[in-house]
Structure 1
């Protein structure tokens, strides 16, 4: 507990010799109060230069010249005089208290001045920030009202919608943006558009753009089927629904075709093949096999049912049967490229174990024919 300094000081003698003024018990706070230096934090900290000086004074030890000089540097003139025996403690005490009060007042004034300066700097910074924000807002409004800027932002948003964040060659930019605007406005792409996207613009025919194209086509043909009841429109709509990952809609649409409108073998085969593809997408493989076999019976010379049966059997793990169906499809006109595309899609979707099994089967069956598999990145 801190002692009352007034009580402590009553126990100190008036002798001019500091060593004769040691009370029975004393700590650093007492010493700091006795010598009127409580406003110096170093006086309260052990082993500091000022703390050591106070202890030496209290023990009556003479101070070296460096210590006296140090007290004078701290502007503790009267304390340095006391230490040198130039004045008595009573004379020191009469002026030291006033000096301490003056120091504390000066420190308070200085701190207030610093705080006022700090607050001023904060207010000035706030004012500058307000000016900066106002200027930024004016610039933003000016920029965003610029027709060129508006067009630029719209183009960026349109490209982002279709996954086109890469660099676009200047000579191809206008054609590509016209296609995107046409598709985004709800219109179908022309045959010329698709030809361009699959040739000169193939680097920009992104998956998102393909999905949007097939969805637009599916919606068009579905509306046509609703308007005309022509089953071919339902087949075309379903084929496009499959290509934009909406096989459930394809299944529902094909299931709605009345049986009496499926009498022509070629039409019925197309319905079964497309429906079988939708069942394959939905992992209803048994239904897909039945529809594929029905389509093959209706049009035994058409490669499309064979391709379907090849893909379904491969996905079910019936590699030999699936490979035989792919061979039949190739004999009936299917291209190796389309078959490879099917197999590549199956490999990419399969888990690691099934992927390795299928790769081993194909490479063992025809290593030259399927050498592309070795470089397949999964």
Structure 2
């Protein structure tokens, strides 16, 4: 009966507000709070979506800088192969060959081919420098310079300017390679190994007796190379006997029997040399005359290559004698220079050295054995 009366009579008012009105107001407040929470959640989700689409660091992309797509391509694509290889390239370094005259030099062709094959963005140029200007030139080189190749007449002139030299440069009294590294100026001689490697590539076997024409710095390298090839005796034929006697102590140090004679006596011995090395300038004509028999039996290495064939090489070719151009020596000594410039060590082989050598030979038109492809 009390329950029935409660349903018929209205709820009593408290402080002027009925209980029913209070419950309605509470329900409206709860609903408003739910709507506010839902709206706030929607705003948070929208902001999170925007953050996922934009770069993590807003300052990493500016109006002046490319966005991610311009740097790496469309999302999901691999970087371009050329762009990827570019990032692996070493910093650009500068190198040069110095000498006087220098216009004929093929060293820029050789070195550029080598650095291209190695993927190095290095420059190599030819610079006309006299003996008097060498010290000032080296002193003025900046930190971007890695090294120098030297030709005549600088191979002896450079020695007082070097902080250290390798054994072969000390032995021959001539350096044809300068490495600039850690504030040091280091000198090397790669001519000796260049001669040996070129002759081995041409198929030279045993050498017991050799002739050398000329008494300059390259003659010293030829003398050491002859010893490394097994020679026991060497005749050196020169224009001025007095200016060439400095080669005798070197020959004795190498354990060689040596005779220094005028050009006119080049082919007066009963023994026929297995090897004749001419260190004379290109185009030089001498009194050295060899018989047809000697020219057919002895291999000639003429270190000159411009103009070609030299007068001496022409004599050998006239009887189908074996001739190795100075370009072959130039290639092989340059390969060792590249080792020095890249690794700081002439004994450290290059990555894919066979491919680098092939590129260098092709750059000057030589076959693997040193033969000129156009002949």
TM range (shorter): under 0.3
Q: Which has the higher helix share?
A: 1
- Whose Rg is larger? 1
After TM superposition, the score normalised by the length of structure 1 is 0.25
After TM superposition, the score normalised by the length of structure 2 is 0.25
Q: Which has the higher strand share?
A: 2
